[in-house]
Amino acid sequence: MQTQIRTAERTPFSLDDDQSYARWRANKLAVAGMPEAVVIQDPGELAAKERQALLRGAEARNFTLFRVRRPAMDIEASLRAFGRRLGLLDLDQNLCAEDSGITAITVKQTNTDKPYIPYTDRPLGWHTDGYYNAGHQQVRAWLLYCAQPAAEGGTNDLFDHEIAYIRLRDENPEWVRALMAPDALTIPRNTEQGQQIRPDHSGPVFSISPTDGSLHMRYSARQRNVIWRDDADTRQAAAFLLDLFQRGDDHIYRYRLGPGEGVISNNILHRRDGFRDDPASGNKRLVYRARYYQRLPAATEY
Ligand SMILES: [Fe+2]
């Protein structure tokens, strides 16, 4: 109990503590510009220096880009080892994950009633991963690794969710309060072939981890199949975010992953452009993804 109280006192995310927030905000906004990719020789055998550089980058921006010098033959095994070495242990098993928990995202048929957008060449809107998961299975980190880019397109936009929090709180702290309500955002149940495979999930957009005081965001910009809490502050906060994505922000980073490149992240906001594959020339987009229930550890913990 004592620990929890201390954590709550330290957090810049308390709406009653403007001083901690101001200090934290200044440090956050001082980190600007696209980060350099951390070069990794072999993700299956991550060196201590490489690991430090990855974790330090994630501490500053909640994501780090990396570039692999020698891609492994068994990509999935090497990515699993990579995650483990970074301190990420629990893989989120989803509907379409292969057995290993590493998901190959590429254009393919899925056994679902409607085409599942990640497995098409269509654009993917702003979201954090696992926004449709139950409260106790929130995705706190993910990694993406590009084995093969598309012939054209497929660029990602990346936006630290803590910066989104700052933009909202600076505009109106009541919007942040509204988004922390336990029923701020509901994802209605999902049925496949008449069978319910997921119940309704209500939860906050922003929440603070009781274990480490970090900020978590659960969000989807989709307009259908999401239910925002029906009050003025929630509606205005949701509209503000959509407008922010339209207007742009100098902390939104646009990056097209090349072969052997990837991102690790504390589940920041992201989206993907549509793309065009050209399988005849071998340019068929293939990106591996892993999701974790825990966040990347602090660099200093190693
Ligand atoms: Fe995603």
Please state the domain count of the chain.
1
8 Å CB contact between 17 and 23: no
* Distance between first and last Cα of the chain: 26
Q: Ligand 1 mean position to 203 CA, how many Å?
A: 18
Give the sign of the dihedral formed by CA 255, CA 257, CA 262, CA 266.
positive
Q: How far is CA 187 from the centre of its chain?
A: 17
Q: Ligand 1 mean position to 128 CA, how many Å?
A: 6
Residue 205 identity (one-letter amino acid): V
In the numeric block, which tokens belong to residue 277?
């594959």
Q: Ligand 1 mean position to 2 CA, how many Å?
A: 36
pLDDT computed for residue 96 by the predictor: 56
Q: If you ran DSSP here, which 8-state letter would residue 124 be given?
A: E
* CA-based nearest residue to 250, from 141, 167, 177: 167
Q: Ligand 1 mean position to 74 CA, how many Å?
A: 23
pLDDT computed for residue 110 by the predictor: 83
Question: Is 159 contained in some domain?
Answer: no
Question: Is 260 contained in some domain?
Answer: yes
Question: Is 240 contained in some domain?
Answer: no
Segments forming the whole domain that contains residue 110: 31-151+254-302
Q: Ligand 1 mean position to 20 CA, how many Å?
A: 31
Q: Ligand 1 mean position to 97 CA, how many Å?
A: 13
Question: Is 185 contained in some domain?
Answer: no
| DSSP class per residue in 23-77 | HHHHHHHH--SPPPPEEES-GGG--HHHHHHHHHHHHHHSEEEEEESS--SSHHH
Please work out, in degrees rounded to the nearest 5, the angle formed at the alpha carbon of residue 56 by the alpha carbons of 54 and 16.
130
What span, in angstroms and rounded, lies between the C-alpha atoms of 243 and 164? 12
Question: Is 56 contained in some domain?
Answer: yes
8 Å CB contact between 270 and 154: no
CATH code, domain carrying 258: 3.60.130.10
Q: Ligand 1 mean position to 114 CA, how many Å?
A: 18
Question: Is 219 contained in some domain?
Answer: no
Question: Is 166 contained in some domain?
Answer: no
Structural element, H or E, at residue 78: helix 75-85
Q: Ligand 1 mean position to 272 CA, how many Å?
A: 8
Question: Is 91 contained in some domain?
Answer: yes
What span, in angstroms and rounded, lies between the C-alpha atoms of 300 and 211? 17
Q: Ligand 1 mean position to 271 CA, how many Å?
A: 7
pLDDT computed for residue 3 by the predictor: 42
Series of mean pLDDT values for 10-residue runs along the chain (302 residues): 47 93 97 94 95 96 96 90 89 59 90 85 96 87 97 98 98 98 93 79 94 94 93 98 97 97 98 97 96 90 58
pLDDT computed for residue 94 by the predictor: 59
Q: Ligand 1 mean position to 9 CA, how many Å?
A: 32
Q: Ligand 1 mean position to 127 CA, how many Å?
A: 6
User: What pTM did the predictor assign?
Assistant: 0.92
Q: Ligand 1 mean position to 15 CA, how many Å?
A: 29
Q: Kind of pairing, strands 190-192 and 195-198?
A: antiparallel
pLDDT computed for residue 251 by the predictor: 97
pLDDT computed for residue 210 by the predictor: 87
Three-state DSSP at 227 gives: strand
